Amino acid sequence: MSAEAADRVAAVGSSRPSTPLQTSWFEFLLDGSLLEKHLQKSNPDPLPVQLIIQFLEQASKPSVNEQNQVQPPADNRRNRTLKLLALKVAAHMKWDLEVLEKGLTIPVLNMLLNELLCVSKVPPGVKHVDLDLSTLPPTTAMAVIIYNRWAIRTIVLSSFPEKQTKPGPHQMNIVLEGALRLKKDFYVHTLRTLDLLAADGAANGETESSTAGLRISTDELHCQVHYDLGGIFFQQGCTDQPAFVKASDHFRQTKELLKKVNYLFILIFVMAATLSHEILFICIFQLDLTVHVHLDEERLAGYWNACRALTGNCDPSDSQTSPYDKINSLVRAHNYQAVIEAFIKDNTTRSLPNHFRRSVLREFLYKVQQGETGLDEICHKLCVCNAVRDAVEGEVLSVRFQQLLLKPSKRMVDFILEVCTRSLEKERPCETSRRNMANFLKTLCEGLEELPLVFVVSSHKLFMELLREEERKVLVEQMRKRSATINLSAKPLPSFYDIPASASVNIGQLEQQLILSLEPRRIRQILFELHGIAERPYWRVNSKWEVPSDYINVILSIKDNLTKDLVYILMAKGLHCISIKDFVHARLLFSACLELVTEFSPKLRQVMLNEILLLEVRAHETMAAEGSKERPPSDLVSRVRGYLEMRIHDLPLRQVVGEECVAFMLNWRENDYLTLQVPPSLVMNNPYIKLGQLLASTCKELPGPKESRRTAKELWDVVVQICSVSIQHKRNSEGRVGLIKHRESSMGILHSNGATFVSSPFFQEPLVLTTLISLFVRLHSIDDIVNEVTAEHLSIWPSSLPNIQAVDVEAVAVTVKELVSFALTLNPNNQSWLVTQADIYFVTNQYSAALNLYLQAGAVCSDFFTKTVPPDVYTDQVLKRMIKCCSMMNCHTQVAVLCQFLREVDYMTAFKALQEQNSHDAMDSFYDYIWDVTILEYLTRILSMVIYSGGTTQNHIIHIKAIGQTELNTSNPEEVLQLAAQKRKKGFLQAMAKLYF
């Protein structure tokens, strides 16, 4: 009993309930009546297309003779029956190419249709163009037509219209055009006729099977053939303009025949109720014929519109003319102003799709590139119309429109406002459209460089209608971001703000200057003036001014309102400057704030000292990230130590300051302080110090003997507890039981912030990052050997966990990805991190990205493969994963080459890869990199079989040349063979790098 049959028996004997068993392919060989019963099911499992694949796969498997040599598939009864079964399934599907193309790959469908040609007795070795279809038996002619229809459809569907370097598929055109000249009904094979052929070994195209098949009417076949020919002529039109006329004619005839067939279909239904049983039977038979017109009618309509536009065969005054045709007619008539007017009107009706509007703009831009004059303004106006349409619909504005705003004229701004106004002229525009338009107008203000133009927009009636008064203040913030060259300490843009005075206008001017200024003395002066006009909280002027929640209560408790505003604003502006790495202004603002609070609040003084320390730490770490090798000054290190050891009662402390101070010590290898000098009480009370100490100790001991790994085990235990969760059941508001995750807090370190610290982007020291990556990789892979991710130093961590179910696996997976991604931003050439990142992509089935990184890892440690890649980088596991990546991307020739790189060549995988017919790599370009003679000999046999079956000899010549090279002679000394292999390894890896980098 086979293993597959044994599995089925075991499954049947199981007492557990299960889904119905899938019928295996070999069961159809054992029971001749099973196939038809299976296909009649409402939901057959496997599906018909899956059966075709299984039958043809089994029938095309090569055999192995007694000398263990691979032979072509045997021409025996079993394989012939399997091929016939595949044809029967396709016959049951009534040879619907639409369905077959969706379910089968091109090689499999090619094999199927070649079998159809064979059983239909198409003369072998004769070109189809030389066949006279009118003299062939009906099923024979139909087989030729189906094959050529599929060939043309494949060319059309798997390519894009482009300039062709070779002539188009004229042979297939001629065959199908010949089919259109036949004015008779056609017949195609059914399950019954295929059985007749199988029963009568001498049956040929002239036996009963020729006219006993499924009858296809002339109109139905011609309708389908016209559609397919129209597609291929349309594709050829970009290099052969008259081909568009031919395509248009074929699509016109397709539409006429489709209408005729559908009319007959409807007529039969209408008449069926009044007809006799005999006539009704005939009508039903006739009705069954209509299932053979399988067209994508939307695609046909698109083809028809495109052909009318390209050939100019449409009249804009015709009431039946589509909006597309009207626009194209206006363009051909050079009535460009009417095109613009149509686009503006369409902003309210929205009958033209956005992609069509953009294509019209691209056509005008192409004309400008070709030298047509006077079209620049037309392009600008069309771009504006499209941008307003996008804005109203909430879409992202195009880059071209953003570029247009760099140097606009007042005339263009007026046109933009006109289009905006007319685009909202509907009786009741929806609120969403109004809000989208309001946002567009604000974006417009932000994009304009010249302030007079901004004033034109902000004073426009539509702007005043759509935006509330408080929203208009956003414009000021946008102006601040507009240019880094504005002198922010001076009174900004007087031409815009010198408006005739009133108290409210003066306050508005001062508030705008307050927002824009970064000079502490100017900020203080503005606040004095504002408080002299009106006493109110000016720290609320800008909603984007934010100070940490830890400090908010201390600042807002200041009794003097002017001082409160000043402290809040200075701190908020300083924090913003740090976030954009403007450390010069940040120091000025923080120094001024420190000087101010020193006068009245020791608590706030210490807060500012802590924030200035964080500023200096970040400034130095930013310099290091940009390439500076300068160590931090000793006073900065001393201040960091002082902060870590500081204990002041009731002082608000920000978590991020402590985190970054510990990370700073680790980044600059102040490990002796963390492991030997830090006070024990501090270690017990400060979780970040504890983690920093464990990390420092572990890094100091690497690689170290086993007995010195106690700290690594302790670090492991702490991180495991951080990443562990307990599951508690709790009913939600709907009464259902849900799972709520709660982090354990048996140690002070194990609160939710611990996980953010160990995966924070503050660490920049390579050894610290490598240690953290190694730890999380081990934790990620500890219960998943199959999807294991590799990293350095994995051996220092425990190999098992007593309670793996308690670990938050998702959080660990996310942490691994973030750590490795961040590490590679610091050093993109770290081969260990590259392999780890590649493994992450591999286990998440991102094979192209994984292969790219495996190749990068090899390149960085071999001077772009000019040297041998170290074996500890390209281990067998890495090579096997590279092989699988290539296999999953259908690059089977690359698989065969890589199989040679393994310590023991994987011949079975290489042989299987070379048998694959659906290879997406340039096969013959990689044959030169095969040095293993056994693989080359197997390739010889494979290609010989291809030639024997009528295939090309080009690949055969290439690989015969490869196997004939003297340096690959097995009689050569081992050194010569090794040099030959290294030469090919180098060339192959460099070729792969060019492909995937």
Is there a single domain that holds both residue 393 and residue 532? Answer: no
pLDDT cut 70: percent of the chain above it: 78
pLDDT mean across residues, the chain: 78
Shared domain check, 594 and 445 = no
Q: Based on the fold, state whether residues 252 and 347 are members of the same structural domain.
A: no
Is 81 part of a structural domain of the chain? no
Q: Give helix then strand counts, H and E, for the chain.
A: 49, 6
Band (pLDDT 50/70/90 cuts) for residue 491 is: very low
Least confident of 383-387, 405-409, 468-472: 468-472
Same structural domain for residues 249 and 333?
Answer: no
Query: Could you tell me how far CA 517 lies from the centroid of its own chain?
Result: 43
Interacting residues of 245 by C-beta distance below 8 A, sequence separation 6+? 311
Domain final residue, candidates 700, 721, 742? 721
Domain boundary residue, one of 721, 749, 777: 721
Return the closest-CA partner of residue 753 out of 825, 654, 682, 678: 654
Residue-level pLDDT at 570? 95
340 Cα distance to chain centroid: 36
Residue 121 belongs to some domain of the structure: no
Domain that residue 341 falls in: 321-482
* Sign of CA pseudo-dihedral 890, 896, 901, 902: positive
Q: Are residues 449 and 325 in the same domain?
A: yes
Query: 444 lies in a domain?
Result: yes
Kindly report the CA angle at 61 between 57 and 67, in degrees rounded to 5? 170
Residue with tokens 């081990």: 778
Mind listing the pLDDT tens digit for each residue in 968-993?
A: 666 677 787 888 889 999 999 999 98
Please state, as a whole number, how many other Cβ atoms lie within 10 Å of the Cβ of residue 898: 28
**Domain-located, residue 294:** yes
- Residue 587, pLDDT above cutoff 90: yes
**Residue 418 placed within a domain:** yes
Q: Bridge partners of 739?
A: 729
Structure tokens at 197: 């052929």
Model confidence at 498: pLDDT above 70: no
pLDDT at 737: 31
* pLDDT-based confidence at residue 638 (cuts at 50, 70, 90): confident
**Contact by Cβ (8 Å): 734, 745:** no
**Most distant CA pair in the chain: distance in Å?**
112
Taking only the tens place, the pLDDT of each residue in 534-572 is 888 899 888 889 999 889 888 988 888 889 999 999 999
Cβ-Cβ contacts under 8 Å for 678 (sequence gap 6 or more): 644, 645, 689, 693
Q: Are residue 475 and residue 508 in the same domain, yes or no?
A: no
Strand ranges, E, within 136-277: 186-188, 214-216
Q: Which two tokens stand for residue 453?
A: 């133009």
CA distance 394 to 398: 12
Residue 155 or 953, more confident:
155
Residue at 642 is within a domain: yes
pTM to 2 decimal places: 0.48
* Domain termination site, one of 684, 701, 721: 721
Q: Which long-range contacts (CB under 8 A, 24 or more apart) does 347-355 make?
A: 347/385, 347/388, 347/389, 347/392, 347/419, 347/422, 347/423, 348/422, 348/423, 348/424, 348/425, 348/426, 350/389, 350/393, 351/323, 352/323, 352/324, 352/327, 354/386, 354/389, 354/390, 354/393, 354/395
Whether the predicted pLDDT of 810 surpasses 60: yes
- Inside any domain, residue 184: no
CA 67: distance to chain centroid? Answer: 48
Same-domain status, 418 and 278: no
Do 473 and 508 fall within a single domain? no
734 band by pLDDT with thresholds 50, 70 and 90: very low
Output 715 or 455, whichever has higher pLDDT. Answer: 715
Structure tokens at 263: 């009319």
Residue 452 and residue 513 share a domain: no
Task: Give the span between the Cα atoms of 28 and 47, in whole angstroms.
Answer: 14
DSSP string of 493-544, one letter each residue: -HHHH-----HHHHHHHHHHHHHH---HHHHHHHHHHHHHH--S-GGGS-TT
Q: Rounded to 5 degrees, what are φ and ψ at 318?
A: -70, 130
Question: d(Cα 133, Cα 129) in Å, to the nearest integer?
Answer: 9
Confidence band of 838 (pLDDT split at 50, 70, 90): very high
Give dist(CA 606, CA 598) in Å, integer.
Answer: 9
pLDDT at residue number 204: 46
Q: Extract the tokens encoding 27.
A: 């069961």
Query: Bigger pLDDT: 691 or 160?
Result: 691
Same domain, 435 and 573: no
Predicted confidence band at 235 (pLDDT cuts at 50, 70, 90)?
A: confident
Helix axes 847-860, 876-888, angle to 10 degrees: 140
Looking up tokens 């009480």 gives: 681
| 713 contacts: CB under 8 Å, gap ≥ 6 | 797, 798
652 in the same domain as 515: yes
* Domain assignment present for 765: no
- pLDDT of amino acid 210: 57
- Split into its structural domains, the chain has a count of 3
Is 554 in a helix, a strand, or coil? Answer: helix
Q: How far apart are the first and last CA of the chain?
A: 49
- Per-residue confidence (pLDDT) for residue 211, from 0 to 100: 65
What whole-number distance in Å separates Cα of residue 740 and Cα of residue 804? 18
Mean pLDDT is lowest, of 155-169, 476-490, 624-638, 657-671, for 476-490
- 862, 982 Cβ separation under 8 angstroms: no
Q: Does residue 169 carry a pLDDT above 70?
A: no
In the predicted structure, residue 9 carries a pLDDT above the cut 50: no
Band (746; pLDDT cuts 50, 70, 90):
very low
326 & 359 share domain: yes
**pLDDT, tens digit, 9 for 90 and up, residues 867-890:** 999 999 999 999 999 999 999 999
Position 389: which residue type? R
